[in-house]
Amino acid sequence: MLGTARLRYWAGLVLKVLAVWFAKVLLQKQPIMSTFVDDEIDVIDGVESEDEVDFVEEMRLPEEKKVDDRLSVGSRTYGCKHYRRRCRIRAPCCKEIFDCRHCHNEAKNTNEVDDSKRHDIPRHRVEKVICSLCDHEQDVKQVCENCGVCMGEYFCTKCKFFDDETEKEQYHCDACGICRIGGRDNFFHCDRCGSCYSNALQNGHPCVENAMHQNCPVCVEYLFDSVMDISVLPCGHTMHQICLEEMNMHSQFCCPICSKSTQNMSRVWERLDQEVYLTPMPEEYRQKKVWILCNDCGTTSDVYYHVIGHKCLRCGSYNTRSTCPPSQSRRAEPRPSMGMLPEAIESSVSPNPAQPGRTLAAEMSAE
């Protein structure tokens, strides 16, 4: 009988040890950062309910809760006009402290009057950050070693980049070598153009060697790491979205680099067809012919001269310019009309007294 009692005692002990061990394992499964808790639940059963969150909260040790609370202190309340973040950077170049690299560049480049002091920050060489909550200066890291606050919910070790606004969906592209926004899944890296492009462009965008490693042809800012939206034109050349809109406002619808149309112009060409039809040339000009080069398809053709414009015989575009006959063209290449209106639009704006002041911009925006 003594044997059974002892057995029962040992079995009870083993059960107790198991229970304690099981509870410990469960607790250790909880990640340290609160932002990941929701993800963890998703992984378990794909459903996220308030009850489950409460349950997980209850299972956590008080110290872990304290660490989490500390990490999120001041989120989105610190930073500059460029980024919400909880640290400032020590510029490796001039050793001064700035909120971010844009603040540095504005102070040391855009606003600096003394030419010899002008410079950009070497962004990847930033080594020291200063916590905005406790002012402690330290090597670049995500969590402040002094006060335990998370200095940026998004953090890239390679770019030394911090940002609390994770809804921008920042991601680091290794091929670009910098962080971009918009979500990794929505972009692909084009090796020839040398940048991340929207998935919408994946099938059949015209690749232009290093298209993104150039300055915007309008405002001459370097495009590759510009924080403004960039447009890829049908010709493959790139410029700021806002600069393209500016061009459209001034009735400029051709690429400043190659003169091809910057958008689908078919409705404008139809309108010009009608106008050419409705505006017969005076008798003495009717048989006059001119050679034109099409900016859109590159075809040379000879067409009847018309004051409104000249239509390419191959693709129907009025984005054409006069050129020499083919026999002479090898000797004298016509000067490209850099950033100018297509000849057709230009001539249809002014010399037609029947419609004073008409511009094609109004027609474009009505579409």
Q: How far is the CB of 41 from Zn ion (least distance, A)?
A: 28
Q: Which is nearer to Zn ion, 210 or 328 (CB)?
A: 210
Q: Do the beta carbons of residue 176 and residue 213 sit within 8 Å?
A: no
Q: How far is the CB of 213 from Zn ion (least distance, A)?
A: 12
d(CA 311, CA 306): 9
Amino acid at 231: S
Query: Token match 């009025």: residue?
Result: 318
Query: Token match 């009692």: residue?
Result: 5
Q: Which is nearer to Zn ion, 303 or 361 (CB)?
A: 303
Give all strands (DSSP E) within 326-365, no chain letters.
none
Q: How far is the CB of 13 from Zn ion (least distance, A)?
A: 47
Query: Token match 């390419």: residue?
Result: 312
Q: Do the beta carbons of residue 276 and residue 286 sit within 8 Å?
A: no
Burial 95-115 (b: 16+ CB within 10 A, else e): eeebbbbbbbbbebeeeeeee
Q: How far is the CB of 321 from Zn ion (least distance, A)?
A: 11
Q: How far is the CB of 59 from Zn ion (least distance, A)?
A: 29
CB atoms within 10 A of CB 259: 22
d(CA 141, CA 33): 15
Q: Which is nearer to Zn ion, 37 or 154 (CB)?
A: 154
Our CA angle for 175, 181, 183, nearest 5°, is 85
* Interface with Zn ion (CB under 5 A): 91, 93-94, 131, 133-134, 136, 144, 146-147, 156, 158-159, 172-173, 175-176, 179, 189-190, 192-193, 196, 207, 216, 218-219, 235, 237, 240, 243, 255, 257-258, 294, 296-297, 299, 312, 314-315, 317
For the chain, how many residues are written?
A: 367
Q: How far is the CB of 185 from Zn ion (least distance, A)?
A: 13
Q: Which is nearer to Zn ion, 12 or 325 (CB)?
A: 325
Q: How far is the CB of 60 from Zn ion (least distance, A)?
A: 23
Q: Which is nearer to Zn ion, 52 or 302 (CB)?
A: 302
The bridge status of strand 230-232 relative to strand 238-240 is antiparallel
Q: Which is nearer to Zn ion, 329 or 352 (CB)?
A: 329
Q: Which is nearer to Zn ion, 276 or 312 (CB)?
A: 312
Q: Which is nearer to Zn ion, 41 or 207 (CB)?
A: 207
Q: How far is the CB of 150 from Zn ion (least distance, A)?
A: 10
289's enclosing H/E stretch is strand 289-294
Q: Can you say how many angstroms the Cα of residue 223 is from the centroid of all Cα atoms in its chain?
A: 10
* φ, ψ dihedrals at 194, nearest 5°: 80, 35
